[in-house]
Structures are given as structure tokens and as C-alpha cells.
Structure 1
Amino acid sequence: MPKPDPTEFRRDVVAVARKHEAPLAQIAKDFGISEATLHNWLKKADIEGGVSPGVTEKETAELREAKKRIRLLEQENEILRRAGGVLRQGAAPKMSFPLVLDLAADGIPVAVTCRVLGFSKQALYKWKANPVSDRDRADAHLINAALDIHRDDPAFGYRFIADELPAQGIRAGENRVQRLCSSQRIWSDFAKKRGLNRKAGPPVHDDLVGRNFTAAAPNRLWLTDITEHRTDEGKLYLCAIKDVYSNRIVGYSIDSRMKAALAVSALRNAAALRSPEGTVVHSDRGSQFRSTAFVRTLKSHGLTGSMGRVGACGDNAAMESFFALLQKNVLDRQRWTSRQELRLAIVTWIEKTYHRRRRQRSLGRLTPIEFETIKTGLQAA
């Protein structure tokens, strides 16, 4: 069964089709999909936009949330059933603390039990002879959350961390976050601190490539990097993944912020389409590629990481050559007024021109798609 195309790719193809610059059949051919698939994507986009009737992703999410709410209500009912005797006796909260631990052992979250029974988790922890004050406990919880956020994306400083904390249910002022981050030396990799000799972070992988950019078969060696370009709305960042065997861009992601999620999304898109196993993924020492999220994604897909040296652009020269072509053929051709305009231009050039029209001498004057199809029998995606 063929792998589904990434959501980001489908959205970009629909945007190109809606510009009506070419027949749908030609657009489908340019992007390597069937015309029926393109019509299906347009239909789903119309449903999401409210143009056509149907079940939207939002409604699906609402159904999922309703199921979660039902599960929560079942947990609350079980709590009240098992705590009935204690509640009827009007006992102090301490009498309920052992029940909280028993329910937790059965899979009911402590937070839910404490809320239903009417006391805080801090009271439970104090009962367990924790001498730490509420304020210290809250600070420790905040520091742990900040460390997790920074570990996932080392580019995050205290301002970005403060913006991310509410998503984890933590409310804290920016000044407090700055104070705690400073005390724990949690700084962005891009920060420049006086009196500190800040160098590039240590590699999380060895250099398994050694500038030998060759591969005997597909999915043996992938290269990845991030490039940026200005628009009138601000910068746009592209993370691309290139298969050395055919020079094909097997995965990419485009965003307005250069976060670890950008690299993770590109890697997931590539893995979804190619189903690799044991592939070496080579990059520089950028914080996005050293992040916990990226390393975790490599392991979850059975991939092997590799990293070049600091300041040695030749260690990833084959990827830099692709970005040079992109710069010459797209980025520097005109002034881009919006991120969306540049995004569609990049996607169209990669899928239509680079993959299917630009012949490469290193491939025997074949395009990447032709080379893979002839040499390995892979179906053009």
C-alpha cells in the first residue's frame, strides 16, 4: 500500500492548483500524482474551507475530544464510587491521600483525583513528607519544563520558553522565567553573553560520511540542511533532505521560524514516503539537528545520524550545491512580497523542474525521477 503524501505537500499542491495557471492534468503530472488524487485533495480542501458539505478535520478533532471527555467522566465516576465512604464520613483530606495513590496505580491521574476530591496535588505531596515549599516546588517544576523545552530545541532562549510554557499548563511571568533560566544557565545557542566563550555545541553523532558523497542504492545516504530567504513579510526557512544516490529531494518542510520542528517535519515527510531503514542522515552541527526531538525522530524511524565539523562547509558540500541551484533559479530571481508566494515557487521548482525536467550529467543526463525509475524500478512519487 503506497505511503500517504505529507499534509504539507498536499496543501502546497492544492494552492498551486487553485492558481489556475495550468490544467489540473498538467499540474498532477508535474507533481507526480494522479489527476484523481488531485481532484480528491481539492475536494477535501473545499470541505475544510466550508465550500462543500462533509466531515472536516475540526469535526473529527471535536469527536476525539468528546471521547476524551467521556473517558474523563468515567474516571471521575470511579473516583466518586471508591471514595464514597470517605466522603460520607466528612473526613479530612489526609484520609483520602492513600486512595489517591491506589487510584494512580490503577491508571487514574493524580491531578484528576485531587480535583474531584477537592484538594491540591501540593497537599498530597506535603503529606508524603516533602519538605520543599510550594514556591520552591513550583520553581523546580518550571525549571524542569524549561529544560525539556530547551532540550527539544536548543535555539530557544527564555522568551521562547516563556511563550511555550502555557501550552504545558504552566503560567509564569517572563521575568520569573528569565531569572530561573539564568540561574540554571539555560540560554539560546544563538545568544551572545559577555565573558563567555560560546562555541558550537558538541556533535551528537560521529561523521560517518567523510565527504564521500556516493551511494550504491537509494536510501543509503541522505543529506540535510536548512536555508533561508527574505520576503517582504519576513524570512522563510526551508529544510530539505537529499538522497545522494539520485540527488532527489526526498523530503522537505517550509516554515517562517527556524525551529527544531522544521527539521523534524522534513525528516518525517521523507520517512513517510521512502520507508527507510538504516539510512545515514548527514547534517551540520546546527541546533535543530542536535535537538532531542530530531535525534528521537531518527531513532524512531531506524535512521543513523551523522555530523560534519564546525565551520567546514565542505563536509556537506553536496547539499550546499542544491541550495546554490535553488538560490540561482528561484530565490534571487525576483523580490518576493509574501512567504506564501515564495513557498509555492520553491515547491513548484523542486517538484516540477528539479525532479522532472532538470537533467544532470552525474546521472547520465537523466532527471532524478528518471534515474530512480530506470536504475531501481522505483515508481516516481
Structure 2
Amino acid sequence: MVTNLESGGLQNKHIVVDELRDKRSVQELCAYLEISRSGYYAYVKRKGNDRDEHLKHKIRSIYEERDKTVGYRRVQDELYRQYNLKVNHKKVLRLMQELGMQAIIRRKYIHRTSYEAAVSDGRIAENLLQQNFTAEGPNQKWVTDVTQFRVFDRRIYLSAIKDLWNNEIVAYHLSHRNDNSLVLETFTKAFETQKDVAGLIVHSDQGYQYTSHAYHDMLPKVGARL
């Protein structure tokens, strides 16, 4: 719908030119509305700058959320995944450079050492399911994972446990933090309702929450395996 000019104002006329420029030339539209082309192009430039400011805000948010470890390609992917924005990678790179953002390279041995520590402590579980995602009865095989959602400008993490016998969600928990407490609280809820879990196999993706000491200490207490 074309912007209403009844309320008057130069900006409204600029908006009309913007809406109709694919159908008529800018020169013709500006002449008809009695405005200058230079004024219209100045409006277009200001509008572009405003859009870039909003985009910079989203880029800054992604950069900070990822602890400043993401480059422009990853930021481009996150802009689409989180905000459904398709932005040219060259523009993302330019805006990140204007903001003084550069990916910080983490030394890989930190992550490798953390994983090796979990292995040496026996906190990396065997794959007991062996790709057999079926069960003959309840509380024989559970699978669990953490899923991330974005609600407005905030992240929400959902931890859920599913019983492979009937694909029922046994328990779930929501949090603004993806940490060990999120997973532990989920299993606390599950064990409050599911009493007979002796011999239960719990399968996860071996993320850091599932290799913690607290997680590995909790399951054997109720007779579950991981």
C-alpha cells in the first residue's frame, strides 16, 4: 500500500518515491511530488545507515554470545539462523571491521585436555544403544539432549528426556543458562515420577553437561547406566 500523503511531510514523499521507483523513474516521481532528487538520495543514504545500525546491534550480540570467537562467515550464518536475515558476507565483514571485531582463536589444547580429562576419569560413556533406538518396555532406554531457542533477544535452553519405548517426554526443564544445573534439574524431575529405573540406559551426545562429575555420580544412585 502506498504511503498516504494527506498528513504531509517531506519524509512521506521520500517514502512514496521509494515505493514507486520500480514503476516510475526517480526523476519523474520527484518532479511530480515537487521534491529534489538530491534530497531523496540523502534520505536513501540515511535509511541505509539506520539499517546498518540495527544490523550492527545484532552482529555485536552474536559476537558477544560466542565469546568473540566467531568470524564473519559464522556471523553470517547466525544472522540467518537467529533472525532470518540474508546478508552478503562482504557486508558482514565490512560491518565487523567497522566495529573492530576480530575472531579470537582459542588454543585447541584447552578443549582437548578437557576431553582427555573426562576420558581418564571414566566420564565418557560407551555407546550402549549401538544405534538400536527401540525398547520393549518403559524406562529401559532414555535419550536426552539440550535444545536452544531464541525468544526476542534472549536465549532459552530446553533440556528434555525421551523414553524410546513410546517416545514420551519423561521430563523437561527450561532455563536461560545452558549449564550443568539445567541437565541435573531435568533428571531430578524425571526420577521424581519414574521410580523403577533399575538397569535404565541413558543416551546423550556426550556434551560437557553429560560428562560432569555430578551427572555421572547421579545416575548410578538410581540404578541407571550411561
Given the two structures, how large is their TM-score scaled by the length of structure 2? 0.47
> Between Structure 1 and Structure 2, which shows a larger proportion of strand residues?
2
Given the two structures, how large is their TM-score scaled by the length of structure 1? 0.29
Q: Give the number of the structure with larger relative contact order, counting CA–CA contacts within 8 Å between residues 6 or more apart.
A: 1
Larger Rg: 2
